[in-house]
Structure 1
Amino acid sequence: MENYNVDTVLKDIFDSKDSNNWKPSDKIPLVTKEIETLKNDLKTFLKSSDYNMDAILKESQELCDETNLLVSGMEMCKQEIEEETMAEILHSIENHDRLTKELESVNFALNIVYDVVQCGKYVKEFDDGREAQSFTRAVEAVYDLLQYIEMPAEGFKQLDMYNNTRHTAQLILDSLLSDLYGEWDRLISTSVKPGNKKTTITITLNIEDSLIVIDVLNALEKSKKLVEKVMEFSQFLLKDVLVPIINNDCIVFAETDELMTITVNQKPDFKPAYDAVIANLRLLFHYLSNKLNVEYYRDNSIMKMMGKQICAEFSDILVKDCLIDTIPNNINELQSYGQITSEIEDFQHFLVIVKFFPDDKISILKYVNNIDILFASKSSQYFLETARTIMLKDLSVTMSIGVETIPEGNPGTSADVSGTEEEALKILNKTMPRSLFYFPRCMISKTAQELLDLVYVMMEQAVQCSDVVCKKLYNTTRLVFELYDAVVPYHHENYLQTIPQYVALFHNNCMYLAHNLQTFGDKWLILMEGRELDYPISFVDLVQKLRDLGYRHLAIHMQQQRKQILDNIRSSDLNCIVVKDVLSDNAEAAVRQCLRQLHLLKNVWIGVFPINVFTRLMATLVNMFVDELIHRVCTVEDISMEMATQLTDMYTLVVQKAPLLFQNTTDVEQYVKSWKKLQELIFVLGGSLKDIEKHWKDGTGPLAVHFNTEELRSLIKALFQNTQFRANLLSKIK
């Protein structure tokens, strides 16, 4: 039966050959027959099976009956619960809600009572602490009380007791803090008495390793006020004690074990030596250590707290205002600087011992790590200050410098050079002027030589130092000459504007410094031989700058002298020849005044300027003076005979006196361009038409050389009357 397939059987029955024409009545017998077959097979199967089907059926019937009985019992229970138990449950719920509300009310009251009891407990603890004279216990009780009432039970805030307790606790705390502050002031007190000449500072420390002191410190710690009070004392110590000791002349003296006196003497522009500062600081910190190293809580002390608060700032101030100044400004002192650093290191170790410095956290020797940079800066500052001091000195203190004549021979050749080198030196000697290597004899200010000596010292020191210092000093050396440009003309401005000797000396100073700067860089490089440099060394660019500085001020003074000469002439009758027949005495006086002015310049400048410079300057002024005299005559349309005679006498005076303004009288003819023209003008003023014609000599004579035709024709018309001879002469001069 397991393999019986209903679908297959039905398919066999209905899928016959005449499947298209069958009727239901034809198939029913076949289906019925198949059902009967199946019934017989089922009976056979049941008979051969191991199960007792009747017993199973009977048992199933009994189970069905029992189930029906249980369903009936459940129905009865349900009915009983709905009628009786639900009523009791509802009643129980009502009782539960009532009990819950009663319990909440009891808990509410219990919490309030508990808070009241706790407040009372803290108040009692405070009273016990006061009776035991323990600030710590009293402060702890008050703080616990204040902290507890910050989070009270519900309803406690509505009680009058809450506000009263809180207010009372705050009053108690304020009173306690007041008492603690009083105790602190008894333990640590300071005073400052300023005066005109000195300021006296006293520090009194009544701190000892006793239960009372420790109790006060612990109480301040519990109330979170100790840090505040220590900070106040630390700031006082730093600003009113430590800083004055570092920067002023001070006397630190321990009057007693409890009393320390610091006397600060007011001395302007005074800087104490580093060893005096360290000695005073040792006395002060030794005194503080004896009193402030009392441990009050977990290895804490006031000294350690002060160190944490101000040691870094104190270290910076000590280094910046004192220890930096110990760095030397020359290489010799730098080499022995180890002794000073050893003393500073001992002092730092002392500060660690007294517990002001934490171990290995603060170092006052950290600046030594940059000793090269600091030394370079200190040296540069020193040299610049020294250079500026030299520049401010009087320029009139002079000295002679230079050579009278350039030596003969070829200094660039020697016996031990090769042929190629000798040939190169010969070409160099031919192409480069020998005067480039020699400075002419003149007078300079001693300050110029002092400044030059200073920069040589800077160079010699730089080449002995590290590359960092060397580069800094090289830049400083250049800066010295730039400073010269800025300081000297400004500081000596009044003298340079009014005193000719100052102008001459300043000009010579600039030329002398520029002359030395031409080869100064080469000298530096020779000393630096073998060292690799990452920057060029040269001072050649400053040469022309210094020369221009001297030229500029000399040119300004020459303009002043020129203006003074022109003003003298233009303020006299020489300025109005055209409207006068006779010149008054002021014309000759003006000429004499100009000659006196030039003679004064000669007396001041000769021997100061190099002779060639003096000659050129004097020639420039004399030439300008002569040009002005010539111009006054050549622009006049009519000159009387009397005026011509006066002009001849005055101009002759110039011809007589002007050569005396030069070191050699013949220099006037060589360097004054208009000198011959003046002489020819005098000849025209005093000569006849016939003499003028001879000097003209058909355009080949001296008059033709020094006068153009228009000038000469104008002179002839102004001096002589209109005659046929004059007309003939004028016709020749074309």
Structure 2
Amino acid sequence: MATSAISPHSFARFITSQLDEPTDSLSPDSRHAFSQGVVEASCATLEELNQAAFDLDSEIQTIKAQVYKKLLANYSAFSESFEYSLQLQDKIDELLSQANTMASQVTHSETGLRQVVMSALVDRHEVSHKVQENNAILDGLSHFSRIEDILLQYELYMDTGKILQAGHCMQQAAKILAQPPNGGVSISQITKSLTGQCARMTEAIDQMLDELIVTAINVEPCIEDENPEATRFKLVLNYDIKVPPLALPRSNLGSAPGSVRWHELIRSLILLDATKVKLKQLQKSLIKNLLQPFIQHYQQVEFLMESPDYSSAEKSSICLGARPGRAADNPFSDLLKFFQFVHQNIFLSGYTGPEFNADGDSSDSDILTFQVGQNIAREACAMILEHYLSKVVPSDVEGLNNFGSIALKTTEFENELIAMGFLSSDDRQLQDFVEHIDIHYTNRTRDSLLKIGRAVMMSEDFKTIHVRDVDKNDELEGNGGAWGRIVDPDADLKDTSISIKSKQIIEMVLTTLKSAGSLSTAASPHLYQATRSLIDLFRALVPVYHARTFSNVPALAILFYNDCMYLARELEKAPERFEDGIPGMDEIQYDDVIPALKDLAKQWLDMQVQKQRDELMHSLDEARGFQDSSIESNFSLYERSMKQISLVFKHLGRAWKPSLSPMTFYKVLGKLLDDAVLRIIKELEDLTDISEKESHKLAALCGVLFECEDQFDCAGPLVERVKGDAYNDEDPIYYFVPSWEKFQLLTDILELSFAEIMTRFRAGQLHMFQEKELCYLVCAIFADTPLRQHNLEEIKQGHPLPLSRSS
């Protein structure tokens, strides 16, 4: 592109012309200033204006000259920059032209460079894919070739009976199959075929292992000449095991299978992780045929072993034989020999051959001991607990103190098993048992206590013993203390009898508590709980098991009442008998058991009382409400009824007085008599018209029951003891039969004249009757007259204050 030059003067004129151009617009401030000047100018003279215009023009010309001068001074630099910019424009245009040419060459649809590069890339991708496919095929062929070589080697080893090497081959083949070089190989038909072939070969080696184990381990019956009926078993372990021939030989080598050693078989089992499954039968044989019969009869039998050096031996054996001489005290020494035999002769703990090592840190014998031996040891420990230790748990405190030797031997035996690897350090069930022997002692004592107690409770022997005879040797009863005085008259059993059973039960409780005093703080409370269980068993078993006997024989039911009360009384003494408590308990108390015993006693006593009450009520039913007693036939019937009631009370007096405590006897008898008297009073008060003759007959009938009063003649001291200073030497029957005084007064009313009745009323001697009751009786006995009406009015006014009996 051609360049055009600009002269300095042309440049200056261009600038100057730009400066001479008028301003297109003025700002608001400029307009304001101009207007202000005009205004001011209008006030100035013409000369002044002309002078100002001249000065302004001069100033403008001066400024123009300065600008023109500066423009001329910078013209050279401007000219050079302008020319350089024109040169750059030419170069840019040239580069743009070249770029257009290159773009045309690259983007051409047929000959362009882009199309060439794209075609080359496609060709390269296709070639790379084919190379990868070929490499994958080569890797797969190499993979399959390796597996095929291993399987051929496996077949060769199997043909020659080299079971261990065959096992290595199977393990290696399975490992390679599990790691295919690519996905195509893993899903190929060849892989599936090889997998199936390996599965069949695994079954073959598994079958051969079974046959080898059966050949290696033999359990033979062993009958002793001295005792043909005692069949025992002998376990024989063959170290040289003949390999069975294959059904379908896979090689034409013509070599017959040889034999394998026991350690090679073990190594193969461990290699194929089949130890637990394949040796399970060996484990069962050791437990069933050797351990179990030995532990059950360790005193009569012992282990007989053949245990030569494995390196040169063909077999080893172990069996049970009769123990000569004195019976063994414990099974531990023989059991330790048994486990040492298993550890050395079956698990080969002493064999140090280089081929008999596991891949890890543990030897093969350690693995066998862990996987198989631990199950055998645990079963042995469980049988020791069941057949030995549980049977040597002491039955008394002296035996418990002497148990230390057994505990020491038990712990030493278990430590040896742990040292050999048959047990882990956490498997210490034998040590745990002997360390808690005091707990097992208490459990055995509890079981024995409940067993003996149950036999005593279920016995049909109801022999009795007088409580006074029992208390003769009781320090608490004879020391003049709290138990030498009557605290609760209802619980005073000194004049009663109890069954031998209750005495035996209390003796069991006291003996057990005394034994608890010498035990640890953890065991003693167990024995205390055992005594509670014994009492609970008594409350649950006796009333159910002997229910029919107690129902048919009231005397035995009363005896059971006494037994319950006696047990409650003796249990109340427990805190005083054992003031210091027992280890683990500050105080021995049966506060919740004692009320339960008393409630049970009351239930059975109430049942007997209710039966007698029903009988009394039945007799009163036959009196038919004492209607028309003036008729002789009715009177005879009613008299028999009242005599029957009196006979019942006499019979109860003879039957219950020797059995019940005095206070209980009088309370029970008084309650029955009170119920009968209350009914008689009610039925007499219900009569509406009583003639004079009938009144005398009714009084005679009531008099029949006065014979019952004799039953309470000896109860005065009891009443005095209970009432204390309030006792006024009254008839004791009034205390036990609250309605008896009223019954006596009613009998008198039937015999007295109207005047005598009113005299007693005014003296306050008929206070037992309510005003309404007296009115009914008066109306029933006496005819309606003004006197009766007057007296009724007086009675309705209420009773006067009663007079004292002394007056």
Q: What is the TM-score with the length of structure 1 in the denominator?
A: 0.66
1:278-298 Cα shifts (integer Å, max 9, x gaps): 699678757756752335545
- Displacement of 1:347 in angstroms is 3.9
- Displacement of 1:129 in angstroms is 1.1
- For residue 279 of structure 2, give the secondary structure of its aligned residue in structure 1: helix
Provide the rounded CA distance (Å) in 1 between the counterparts of 2:494 and 2:744: 33
Match of 1:577 in 2: 627
The change in CA–CA distance for 1:241 and 1:706 in structure 2 (over 3 A counts) is farther
- For residue 430 of structure 2, give the secondary structure of its aligned residue in structure 1: coil
- Displacement of 1:336 in angstroms is 0.7
Equivalent position to 1:170, from 192, 199, 223? 199
Match of 1:523 in 2: 577
Match of 1:501 in 2: 555
- For residue 608 of structure 1, give the secondary structure of its aligned residue in structure 2: coil
The change in CA–CA distance for 1:549 and 1:277 in structure 2 (over 3 A counts) is farther
Provide the rounded CA distance (Å) in 2 between the counterparts of 1:382 and 1:122: 69
Provide the rounded CA distance (Å) in 2 between the counterparts of 1:96 and 1:715: 139
Match of 2:46 in 1: none
Equivalent position to 1:221, from 243, 247, 270? 270
Provide the rounded CA distance (Å) in 1 between the counterparts of 2:461 and 2:546: 8
Provide the rounded CA distance (Å) in 2 between the counterparts of 1:245 and 1:368: 21
Match of 2:239 in 1: 208
**Counterparts of residues 684-723 of structure 1 (less than 5 Å):** 685=750, 687=751, 690=753, 693-694=755-756, 697-699=759-761, 704=766, 710-715=772-777, 717-719=779-781
- Displacement of 1:485 in angstroms is 4.6
The change in CA–CA distance for 1:604 and 1:244 in structure 2 (over 3 A counts) is farther
Equivalent position to 1:230, from 276, 279, 298? 279
Provide the rounded CA distance (Å) in 2 between the counterparts of 1:518 and 1:660: 32
Match of 1:15 in 2: none
Match of 2:156 in 1: 128
- Displacement of 1:337 in angstroms is 0.8
Provide the rounded CA distance (Å) in 2 between the counterparts of 1:186 and 1:413: 83
Provide the rounded CA distance (Å) in 2 between the counterparts of 1:238 and 1:331: 35
Provide the rounded CA distance (Å) in 2 between the counterparts of 1:487 and 1:110: 88
**Counterparts of residues 307-386 of structure 1 (less than 5 Å):** 307-309=373-375, 311-312=377-378, 315=381, 318-319=384-385, 323-324=389-390, 326-345=392-411, 347-348=413-414, 351=417, 356-357=422-423, 362=428, 364-380=430-446, 382-383=448-449, 386=452
1:125-184 Cα shifts (integer Å, max 9, x gaps): 123313322112223223433433444566767887655444333323212211222222
- For residue 414 of structure 2, give the secondary structure of its aligned residue in structure 1: helix
Asked whether 1:557 is paired with 2:623, we answer no
Equivalent position to 1:612, from 663, 667, 679? 663
- Displacement of 1:512 in angstroms is 2.8
Match of 2:468 in 1: 402
Provide the rounded CA distance (Å) in 1 between the counterparts of 2:693 and 2:670: 31
Provide the rounded CA distance (Å) in 2 between the counterparts of 1:297 and 1:657: 103
Provide the rounded CA distance (Å) in 2 between the counterparts of 1:405 and 1:467: 32
- Displacement of 1:562 in angstroms is 1.8
Equivalent position to 2:364, from 296, 300, 313? 300
The change in CA–CA distance for 1:241 and 1:564 in structure 2 (over 3 A counts) is farther
Provide the rounded CA distance (Å) in 1 between the counterparts of 2:532 and 2:471: 31
**Counterparts of residues 654-693 of structure 1 (less than 5 Å):** 654-656=705-707, 659=710, 671-675=736-740, 677-679=742-744, 681-682=746-747, 685=750, 687=751, 690=753, 693=755
- Displacement of 1:400 in angstroms is 0.5
- Displacement of 1:218 in angstroms is 2.6
Match of 2:88 in 1: none
- For residue 459 of structure 1, give the secondary structure of its aligned residue in structure 2: helix
The runs of 5 or more residues in structure 1 that have no matched partner are 1-18, 31-88, 193-197, 264-272, 415-424
Asked whether 1:452 is paired with 2:506, we answer yes
1:458-511 Cα shifts (integer Å, max 9, x gaps): 332233333333444445555655555555445444455554323422333333
- Displacement of 1:564 in angstroms is 2.9
Provide the rounded CA distance (Å) in 2 between the counterparts of 1:473 and 1:275: 29
1:238–1:310: 8 Å Cα contact kept in structure 2? yes
The runs of 5 or more residues in structure 2 that have no matched partner are 1-61, 74-116, 222-228, 242-259, 307-316, 350-355, 717-730, 797-807
1:463–1:470: 8 Å Cα contact kept in structure 2? yes
Provide the rounded CA distance (Å) in 1 between the counterparts of 2:69 and 2:732: 172
1:403–1:441: 8 Å Cα contact kept in structure 2? no
Aligned residues: 623
- Displacement of 1:644 in angstroms is 5.5
1:227-256 Cα shifts (integer Å, max 9, x gaps): 322356546866898679878999978799
* Aligned residue type for 1:525: E
Provide the rounded CA distance (Å) in 1 between the counterparts of 2:487 and 2:686: 45
- Displacement of 1:399 in angstroms is 1.0
Asked whether 1:463 is paired with 2:517, we answer yes
1:67-104 Cα shifts (integer Å, max 9, x gaps): xxxxxxxxxxxxxxxxxxxxxx99x9999999989977
- For residue 465 of structure 2, give the secondary structure of its aligned residue in structure 1: strand
The change in CA–CA distance for 1:503 and 1:279 in structure 2 (over 3 A counts) is farther
Asked whether 1:514 is paired with 2:568, we answer yes
Provide the rounded CA distance (Å) in 1 between the counterparts of 2:135 and 2:496: 115
1:565–1:594: 8 Å Cα contact kept in structure 2? yes
- For residue 372 of structure 2, give the secondary structure of its aligned residue in structure 1: helix
- Displacement of 1:335 in angstroms is 0.6
1:658–1:668: 8 Å Cα contact kept in structure 2? yes
Provide the rounded CA distance (Å) in 2 between the counterparts of 1:661 and 1:642: 32
Asked whether 1:636 is paired with 2:687, we answer yes
Match of 1:144 in 2: 172
The change in CA–CA distance for 1:386 and 1:279 in structure 2 (over 3 A counts) is farther
Provide the rounded CA distance (Å) in 1 between the counterparts of 2:512 and 2:300: 39
Provide the rounded CA distance (Å) in 2 between the counterparts of 1:677 and 1:309: 87
The change in CA–CA distance for 1:586 and 1:292 in structure 2 (over 3 A counts) is farther
Match of 1:82 in 2: none
- Displacement of 1:574 in angstroms is 2.3
**Counterparts of residues 19-58 of structure 1 (less than 5 Å):** none
Match of 1:441 in 2: 495
- Displacement of 1:676 in angstroms is 5.0
- Displacement of 1:603 in angstroms is 2.8
Q: What is the TM-score with the length of structure 2 in the denominator?
A: 0.61
